[in-house]
Structure 1
């Protein structure tokens, strides 16, 4: 899945990139940065976006499902003493 397809699928769920990031407890910049890369969207994000689109297409409210997950916020990556991100 490319970035445009990700945006299309989360848009079907009535979400912006920022709201999608909040839903999955990720940093919005981590997701918007994918638009600058020529790579495909990571498969975990592609799966979530595709499932969100399908849930909405089938009249299923996804919000209670995410509430049940009790996801922890994504930790910011920090650089170690060698300049590598961890």
Structure 2
């Protein structure tokens, strides 16, 4: 995952000035909240949630297809 350093906000700033975080999300599409100098939370616009979930489903299906192809001989043996 690529993170734009302009969207990184310390948790103390996010706690005291959430409107700044909201403006970053409006401008860049997401914001990363840092805790102990490490990325901890990602904030996206609400309307992006469905698209993110669909992508995750596609990833799972693609992985399943790869596993089934790789292990096709096992499935054929089990089907006997």
TM-score, normalising length: structure 1: 0.27
Answer 1 or 2: higher relative contact order, Cα 8 Å, separation at least 6: 1
| Structure in which a larger fraction of residues adopt helix | 2
| Structure in which a larger fraction of residues adopt strand | 2
